Amino acid sequence: MAIYLNDVSRTFGEYLLIPGLTTKMCIPSNVSLRTPLVKYKIGEVSPVRLNIPFVSAIMQSVSGPELAIELARNGGISFIFGSQSVEAQAEMVRKVKKFKAGFVVSDSNLTPEDRLSDVIALIKRTGHSTIGITDDGTANGRLLGLVTSKDFRPEKDDNSMKIKYFMTPFDRLHVGRLGISLTEANQIIWEYRLNTLPIIDGEEHLAYFVFRKDYDNHRANPHELSGGDKTLLVGAGINSRDYEERVPALIDAGVDVLCIDSSDGYSEWQKDTIQWIRERYGDTVYVGAGNVVDSEGFDYLVRAGADFVKVGIGGGSICITREQKGIGRGQATALIDVAQARERHLQETGVYIPICSDGGIVHDYHMTLALAMGADFLMMGRYFARFDESPTKKLRIGNNYVKEYWGEGSNRAQNWQRYDSGGSESLKFEEGVDSYVPYAGKMKDNLNATLGKIKATMCSCGAVTLEELQRQAKITLVSSTSIVEGGAHDVILKEKT
User: What does R_g of the chain's alpha carbons equal in angstroms?
Assistant: 25
Question: Could you tell me which of 419, 355, 411, 364 has the C-alpha nearest to residue 386?
Answer: 364
How many whole angstroms separate alpha carbon 174 and alpha carbon 187? 12
Side chain identity, residue 451 = L
In the residue annotation, 259 being an active-site residue is answered as no
459 is catalytic: no
Query: From CA 345, how far away is CA 188, in angstroms rounded?
Result: 52
Question: For the purposes of burial, counting CB atoms within 10 Å of the CB of 310, is it exposed (0-12), middle (13-18) or buried (19 or more)?
Answer: buried
List the catalytic residue out of 26, 73, 246, 319. 319
Active-site hit among 94, 329, 386, 418 = 418
Where b means 16+ CB within 10 Å and e means fewer, 60-80 reads bbbbbbbbbbbbbbbbbbbbb
Yes or no: say if 15 and 474 are a contact pair by the CB < 8 Å rule: no
Which residues are identified as catalytic? 319, 418
